[in-house]
Chain A
């Protein structure tokens, strides 16, 4: 059937069938739109895919433009990595949780650090009061890092570390811990998040201003491709952008434009696209709107491949692959009727798998209250295992390809991306856009708009603005030992007292001098780690040389 015929046919159906039907029984809503408020038609047909070319726009799995997946065999070969983010209390507490997770079938570790560590402050810093070990694990020095990974085979598991501002410092501690155990750096695999741009855009865990932060990131690219070849030196993250209130399109666009900005900076610093770009990985949120999310993942792969090819023509094809981690949307969880969260997480996880993610974290039902209990984490992991082994969705590759609706959403994402790219390129790139507060304002607008839609009942949240109940039985939650803060402060004081003062001094001075001269910093951070310098001490040096950043407070 030609497109013309489909168009005429659809119009006839709308006039003769659909029109009269909704006249008799009106539609449920005045307006149907995705979670991101993109309008949805009652029916999608071939004419919604005008200009769509299967060879050019889909291709085959493992082949350009990778819409159907980055690996040729996808989940028929190997399932996605089930990677549960964990960290709380002391290094001992988290080490125990890691070993529990490994016993129950996770394939990779993922470290959640506490707020002071994320902000590059030591546990005894006045601003750390009340936050040590609360939202993640406290790591001040190499000593904590060694306890955190005690009895964990660093050459066999891969470790993802959610750390940004002080990413190089914390990564250097991990490398130093491996070195002390005699594990060569080229045997280590994992990821540091290290995505500076999204800190200013959304997550707000910065330490220095935008431009020097970009310099620190490029420094890890250089060191990583040379010394730790199995490591992903960045995880360019849409997750936090989405959680801060962005739409699916904004998440996709800002994340990929961040990615292009990192590549631009790497190239400007003299790095070879073929060496460092294959080490860039991505991290997306997976929210409630099932098809929109699937389209987002498929579009992201296609856009990345096309943009990198168009700009750099890399000879290493791996530079074109958008490999991604995904996490279900924390922001979609509700405190009310918390067991409903299990269902939300299941649908979101299913969307991530149908979207072709390389690894996945599923949130726990109790996370609007506190960090998850062991039971809640186990259920979240089992959710992935049921999808993987029982649902059958992992048995064929990209099963939704060719769906008029999904392909049309995928195309719409790509066009939306182009509009944002145009805007941001006009400003001179993402660094300039961030300095002007452009993505920050776009996200704030979107989050306010969504909250209004919820308040007006235009968007339904089950258990909140519909089907709410008044009396609810409390669920068990994880309590953090209030002694953790004091114990951690004592341990840090002990380390400061017993470390080799001379070596510490030298390592800190060498770091300061290298930062001032613009020399490579990673080797200096590794030496600081060996000398038991704390995260906060090293961050102070960076702030002294590069300055600080303060929230402009857009709202």
Chain B
């Protein structure tokens, strides 16, 4: 039997804005996925370790602190080190569009800006996870 998609919803750095992350976590769970929410103030190392331990298919990282240009590349780098090549990395929060191309280059597959709907996010994860697995295989 196919197991449900497993997603780690993470807050990294000192950023405490967790409203969006929790709403998204809840929506993904209601959409039938298994969700592990890390809580706030995780280091990039802790986020990737959680994904590894939980055998996650995706990491959704929420950042509203302006530290995205440091934290996303760091998480992506650690994912490569740990061999998580088939794990989807996406994000959301206050991330200016001007920064998206650079984030995409380091492996952030999608950034959801404020105003994105829950439907949009759950549909994306449901479609992108198998695509990512297929690409990595």
Contact = CB atoms under 8 A, between A and B. Distances in A.
A368 B65 contact: no
B118 interface: yes
Nearest to B18: A204
Main secondary structure of the interface of A (DSSP, over half): loop
B26 A131 contact: no
A331 interface: yes
Given A135-B66, A480-B66, A130 B18 contact: no
Nearest to A244: B19
B106 interface: no
A447 B23 contact: yes
B119 interface: yes
B101 interface: no
B37 A555 contact: yes
Interface centre among B14, B16, B113 (most CB of A within 10 A): B14
B14 A555 contact: no
B95 to A, nearest CB: 9
B66 A129 contact: no
Interface string B55-85: 0000000000111111100000000000000
Interface in A471-525: 474, 477, 480
Interface string B13-46: 1111011011101110000000101111101000
Given A130-B71, A477-B96, A551-B39, A452 B14 contact: no
B52 interface: no
B114 interface: yes
A461 B41 CA distance: 31
Contacts of A121: 14
A370 B66 contact: yes
Contacts of B15: 115, 131
A204 B22 CA distance: 13
B119 A129 contact: no
Interface centre among B9, B16, B21, B69 (most CB of A within 10 A): B16
A190 interface: no
B128 interface: no
A23 to B, nearest CB: 34
Interface in A120-174: 121, 126-131, 134-135
Interface of A: 115-116, 118-119, 121, 126-131, 134-135, 203-205, 243-245, 331, 334-336, 368-370, 444, 447-448, 451-452, 454-455, 461, 464-465, 474, 477, 480, 550-555
7 contacts: A127-B43, A131-B14, A131-B15, A205-B16, A336-B115, A369-B94, A461-B115
